Amino acid sequence: MIRSLRGTVLSVGDEMICLDVAGFGLEVYASGSLLARAAADEDLECLAWLQVSDAGMSMFGFSDESERALFLEITQVKTMGGKLSITLLRHLGAGAIVSAIMASDASRLAVPGLGPKRAERICFELRPKIEKKFAHIASGGTEIKLSGSVDGEVISGLVGLGFSHGEAARAVSLCRSEGGEREWGDEDLMMSALARLRRR
Q: What is the pLDDT of residues 3-16, one digit of tens each?
A: 999 999 999 988 99
pLDDT tens-digit map of 98-136: 988 998 999 989 888 999 999 999 999 999 988 888 877
Report how far residue 178's alpha carbon sits from residue 174's, in angstroms, rounded to the nearest whole number. Answer: 6
DSSP string, 23-92: TEEEEEEE-HHHHHH--TTSEEEEEEEEEEETTEEEEEEESSHHHHHHHHHHTTSTT--HHHHHHHHHHS
Residue type, 73: E
All structural domains of the chain, each given as residue ranges with its CATH number in brackets, are: 4-137 (2.40.50.140), 150-199 (1.10.8)
DSSP-assigned beta bridge partners for residue 188: none
115: how many CB neighbours lie within 10 A of its CB?
11
Nearest to 171 by CA among 144, 192, 150: 192
* % of residues, the chain, pLDDT over 90: 42
How confident is the model over 153-178, as a mean pLDDT? 77
Nearest to 167 by CA among 158, 175, 178: 158
List Cα–Cα distances, 124 to 10, 117, 119, in angstroms.
Answer: 40, 10, 9
Q: 183 versus 51: which is more confidently predicted? A: 51
Instruction: Indicate whether 45 pLDDT > 90.
Output: yes
**pLDDT value at position 65?**
92
Instruction: Indicate whether 141 pLDDT > 50.
Output: no
Report how far residue 75's alpha carbon sits from residue 167's, in angstroms, rounded to the nearest whole number. Answer: 28
Instruction: Indicate whether 166 pLDDT > 70.
Output: no
Q: Are strands 43-53 and 24-30 parallel, antiparallel or unpaired?
A: unpaired
Of 64-68, 139-143, 187-191, give the range with the top mean pLDDT. Answer: 64-68
pTM exceeds cut of 0.75: no
**pLDDT value at position 165?**
66
Q: What is the distance in angstroms between the CA of the first residue and the CA of the last residue of the chain?
A: 35
DSSP-assigned beta bridge partners for residue 165: none
**109 neighbors 96 (Cβ within 8 angstroms):** no
